[in-house]
A = this chain, B = another copy of it.
Amino acid sequence: MKRIAVLTTGGDAPGMNPAIRSVVRYGINQKLEVMGVFRGWWGLINEELKVLDHRSVSGIINQGGTILKTARCAEFKTEEGMSRAYNTVKKYNIDGLVVIGGNGSFTAAHEFYKKYKVPVIGIPASIDNDVNGIDYTIGTDTAINTALDAIDKIRDTATSMERIFVVEVMGRNSGFIALTVALAGGCEDVIIPEKKLDLELICHDIVHGNLVGKMSWIIVVAEGAGKAEDIAKKITEITSLETRTVVLGHVQRGGRPTAVSRDLALHLGKSAVDCLLSGKTDIAVGLGGGKFAEIDFEVAIQKKELKIVNLFNLIRVLT
């Protein structure tokens, strides 16, 4: 193995840059040449790539986003797209690929491997923490802290103006961020895709709370479980109480990665290169059960089940 390539795909996540830094510098340390592919699969299809040296990744360890840029690429799902990507791999003598991204990225990587047998290792980076078999994806901790910071700020107004707030956080298929920030933010309730919404119960709690002097509420909702605005409207219908909404949105994607996101990224960059060097392929590296682990792509791309019952109950008990 002489030359590898690294790319970032899917939504950007804070920590992708330190992951790139680690792949590049550790790769060079292991006598590899490392190429950076721009805009994910699109760059592989369109031959947008270049050799990255030690200095090219200076000063990025604390930067959000990705210097390699990222894109969603429908073309890579076609036979022609994949074939063109493979041509690039051959033309540039790329002996292995490191793909930094989430669930969707690994699905594509897995298909690419099955068809063309190019060695490929995945590094899980996605704020949604949506990679099965892995505790934490790169970026999740940063996104959670950003959302938590926002909730702490909203709490100031909720308390001062004695208002109900519905705060929508990221999580199309998963309530992971919602549950975590609801607990850490001391929020009164949480609505997630994994659990049937019982708005009557929430409203009952609010009305009952009001009677005993609890006037402010923050209800966190994962985007996959409903729109903040719809939920707020229903709460107002049922309780007759004014309800405000905040949709945190893309703010959660960016920013300086936290220590957890950076350290994870730096370790996994090295792991990915080590895997390629030892002939492994078709797997993601990650923290599983508190230890560094390797997970078959086939497993990693399965729907991740969230154990929520305890967490859900704890949030309600501590309110």
Copies of the chain in the assembly: 4
Partner of A71, one of B154, B161, B245: B161
Q: How far is the CB of A307 from chain B (nearest CB, A)?
A: 12
Partner of A65, one of B148, B156, B248, B251: B156
Say if the beta carbon of A290 comes within 8 Å of chain B.
yes
Structural contact, B266 and A65, CB atoms closer than 8 A: no
Once the chains are docked, how many angstroms separate the CA of A289 from the CA of B293?
A: 13
Known A11-B161, A70-B161; contact A260-B263, beta-carbon cutoff 8 A: no
Sorting the interface of chain A by its residue count into under 10, 10 to 19, 20 to 34 or 35 or more gives 35 or more
Say if the beta carbon of A120 comes within 8 Å of chain B.
no
Partner of A270, one of B8, B22, B150, B314: B314
Structural contact, A259 and B161, CB atoms closer than 8 A: no
Structural contact, B146 and A153, CB atoms closer than 8 A: yes
Say if the beta carbon of A74 comes within 8 Å of chain B.
no
Known A162-B69, A251-B150, A254-B153; contact A180-B317, beta-carbon cutoff 8 A: no
Say if the beta carbon of A267 comes within 8 Å of chain B.
yes
Say if the beta carbon of A25 comes within 8 Å of chain B.
yes
Interface residues of A (CB under 8 A from B): 8, 11-12, 14, 16, 18, 21-22, 25-26, 29, 39, 59, 61-66, 69-71, 135, 141, 144-146, 148, 150, 152-157, 159-162, 165, 180-181, 183-186, 244-256, 258-260, 262-263, 266-267, 270, 287, 289-291, 314, 317-319
